[in-house]
Amino acid sequence: MIHERVLQLEENAKKYNYYQQTLNIEQSRFEDLEDLRNDLNMRLNVWCSLEEWQLATSQWVDTQFSAIDADVIRTRCDHYIKVAISMCRSSASA
């Protein structure tokens, strides 16, 4: 729902910029819309990562210990740590 609304706003921004260009006036930047898109992408990344993490951990719990690949777990953990740090930095700078 929110994603579709942001896409609609971005399309409107493109139209307005086209109209402004056609009329030879300065084009608006829509910085708030850019910030909204970045924030939405960050939050979506966090939610998708959380869902992936929950699925992966439930699979690991159900896997026989000798069949668990520690390198895969480490790689995935590193990825999720980077996502979390990125979100923290993004939230701190906002």
pLDDT score for 94 = 63
For residue range 54-88, what is the model confidence (pLDDT) as tens digits? Answer: 999 999 999 999 998 999 999 999 999 999 998 88
Say whether pLDDT at 91 is over 90: no
pLDDT score for 87 = 87
Domain coordinates of the chain in residue numbers?
Answer: 2-93
Asked if 17 contacts 27 with a C-beta cutoff of 8 angstroms, the reply is yes
DSSP annotation string for 24-89: T-PPP--HHHHHHHHHHHHHHHHHHHHHHHHHHHHHHHHS-GGG--HHHHHHHHHHHHHHHHHHHH
For residue range 6-26, what is the model confidence (pLDDT) as tens digits? Answer: 999 999 999 999 999 999 999
Say whether pLDDT at 4 is over 80: yes
Going by pLDDT thresholds of 50, 70 and 90, the confidence category of residue 93 is confident
Whole-model pTM above 0.75? no
